[in-house]
Amino acid sequence: MADLLPEATRRWQHIEATALAHFQRAGLAEIRTPLLEATALFARGIGEATDVVGKEMYSFLDRGERSCTLRPEGTASVVRAAIQHGLLAQGSQRLWYGGPMFRYERPQAGRLRQFHQLGVEYLGYADPFTDAEAIAVAWDLLGALGISGLELELNSLGTSADRARYRKILMAWLGERRGGLDEDSRTRLATNPLRILDSKDPGTRALLRDAPSLADALSEESCQRFAAVRQALTALDIPFRLEAGLVRGLDYYNHTAFEITSNQLGAQATVCGGGRYDGLVEQLGGPATACVGWAMGMERLVLLLTRQEEERKAVAPHLDGAPQCYLVSRPGRAALQALALSRSLRARGLAVERDVSGSTLAKQFRRADRSGATWVITIGEAEAEACTARLRHLRRDGVEREFAQGQLPDQLLALVRD
Ligand code: ATP
Ligand code: MG
């Protein structure tokens, strides 16, 4: 659990203020629920078979011998409050919430035991276009914060009938290949086979490549619904990637499931996760209510913003027109690699000039000097063969270092920051 010191809180306040204005424009109203709830709420609302309920909750008996839990997420509490106060009888509700959540996890970058979420819940919305609207609210908030390099992964879980049909097909298929599964997945085969689809075990993942897909088991109606969500996202110009492994193995999650990920967060890549949960309100004792929502991790937002700000700062002195690095290469294959490398360097915020003269390396080096660039990157024949590039500072010592082309942007950014 982390302290937030003044330097950090400024960044948090910026995110919170941006989100508040963004949510207000989207017609969302804030709801605040207690940090502490009856344990049974989460057991029923998230599911006994999940990691969150099974292994991650901070639960204890209070002085009245009641089992209480520090909330591990927001949706169950929001739905409980909506039912308890009869909000749903007043019509559909568009709500947002924010605040600390608690999970007993192994702490690492982007994963804490007290972390913070911003979340949105649309209660009483069955229309597939609402799924796209909810996703757009998340996508555009990330855009408003200036976060780039994100990817939207999308899947449809269909209805519980679709999944029951698929579960049988999958269990039969995996049952015949039990030996190829990791231990966790073998346990799940009996309890929660759909969760095997998002296993991180390499062996299991390889096996799953040929597994029957849930998409093929969806009913005609579910397919049409999913098509409408995709159509709306396309109309909104929000790019997405279909990801068959994206599942939430619970009966009250259905149809749309999505995650927004970043390639700059390492193993904790998911910034935002959500989807439809038409069965949850009923599960918690309310009237049947179609719902869709998502939650975003504040700490991961802060990590992304900090990283991108550092990169921008690092390149700022070079916005005067001079390139930051100059790429020199032999023609042909090496030039093609230089072209690709210059593109990925630019994507990371660096100002890059690539020599296109086709002249000798010696002449290209002279032009590199005159360009005002700080770094020169060279891809000759030998480097092209090895998929590497040589990097040298043009003003400090002349030490040249060789890196794999894929690693060069990271290495260079680290050097630029020093
Ligand atoms: P993960 O796969 O990273 O464990 P999750 O599926 O458990 O995520 P959700 O319950 O969908 O996450 O929560 C939504 C978001 O909250 C996540 O995408 C992430 O940004 C954030 N989040 C979840 N757990 C943590 C944590 N322990 N520390 C920091 N952020 C978290
Ligand atoms: Mg988790």
Ligand at minimal distance from the CA of 198 is: 1
Q: Say what the pLDDT of residue 313 is.
A: 66
> pTM to 2 decimals?
0.78
- Ligand 1: which of 75, 115, 248 to mutate, judged by most atoms within 8 Å of the beta carbon? 115
268 CA closest ligand 1 atom index: 3
Alpha-carbon span 265 to 202, nearest angstrom: 20
Res 68 pLDDT > 60: yes
Q: Helices 183-191 and 160-175 meet at what angle, rounded to 10?
A: 130
Distance 111 CA to ligand 2 centre (A): 9
Q: Say what the pLDDT of residue 49 is.
A: 76
Closest CA to 22 of 147, 163, 156, 174: 147
| More confidently predicted of 166 and 395 | 166
Nearest CA to ligand 1 atom 20: 297
Q: Say what the pLDDT of residue 327 is.
A: 96
Ligand at minimal distance from the CA of 260 is: 1
Q: Say what the pLDDT of residue 195 is.
A: 82
Over residues 218-241, the pLDDT tens digits come to 999 999 999 999 999 999 999 999
H-only helix segments in 145-213: 160-175, 183-191, 202-208
Task: Name every residue whose Cβ is closer than 8 Å to that of residue 356 and which is 6 or more positions away in sequence.
Answer: none
- Ligand 1: which of 270, 276, 298, 300 to mutate, judged by most atoms within 8 Å of the beta carbon? 270
Kindly state the helix (H) or strand (E) to which residue 97 belongs, with its residue range: strand 93-102
Residue 303 to residues 10, 72, 224, 269, 332: CA-CA distances in angstroms? 14, 21, 38, 11, 40
Over residues 239-283, the pLDDT tens digits come to 999 998 888 656 678 999 999 999 888 888 899 999 999 999 999
Residue 155 CA, chain-centre distance (Å), reads 14
Alpha-carbon span 33 to 345, nearest angstrom: 45
Kindly state the helix (H) or strand (E) to which residue 39 belongs, with its residue range: helix 39-45
Res 319 pLDDT > 70: no
Task: Name every residue whose Cβ is closer than 8 Å to that of residue 131 and which is 6 or more positions away in sequence.
Answer: 229, 232, 255, 256, 275, 276, 292
Res 211 pLDDT > 70: yes
| More confidently predicted of 242 and 209 | 242
The mean pLDDT of 327-334, rounded to a whole number, is: 95
In which band, very low, low, confident or very high, does the pLDDT at 139 lie, cut at 50, 70 and 90? very high
Beta partners for 119?
A: 97, 295
Can you spell out the DSSP letters for 222-277? HHHHHHHHHHHHHHTT---EE-TT----STT-EEEEEEEEETTSTT--EEEEEEE-
Distance 108 CA to ligand 1 centre (A): 12
Distance 103 CA to ligand 1 centre (A): 9
Res 17 pLDDT > 90: yes
Nearest CA to ligand 1 atom 21: 297
**Mean pLDDT taken over the chain:** 92
Distance 312 CA to ligand 2 centre (A): 31
Residue 362 to residues 116, 331, 355, 397: CA-CA distances in angstroms? 55, 14, 12, 18
Q: Say what the pLDDT of residue 249 is.
A: 55
Res 316 pLDDT > 80: no
Distance 52 CA to ligand 2 centre (A): 7
Res 360 pLDDT > 90: yes
Nearest CA to ligand 1 atom 22: 297
Ligand at minimal distance from the CA of 105 is: 1
Q: Helices 408-417 and 298-315 meet at what angle, rounded to 10?
A: 70
In which band, very low, low, confident or very high, does the pLDDT at 318 lie, cut at 50, 70 and 90? low
Q: Say what the pLDDT of residue 399 is.
A: 84
Determine how β-strand 400-404 pairs with β-strand 388-393.
antiparallel
User: What residues does ligand 1 touch, defined as CB less than 6 Å away?
Assistant: 73, 103, 105, 110-112, 115, 117, 268, 270-273, 295-297, 299-300
| More confidently predicted of 47 and 59 | 59
**DSSP-based three-state secondary structure for 13:** helix
Nearest CA to ligand 1 atom 29: 111
Nearest CA to ligand 1 atom 10: 73
Ligand at minimal distance from the CA of 72 is: 1
Q: Say what the pLDDT of residue 314 is.
A: 64
Residue listed under structure tokens 């057991």? 43
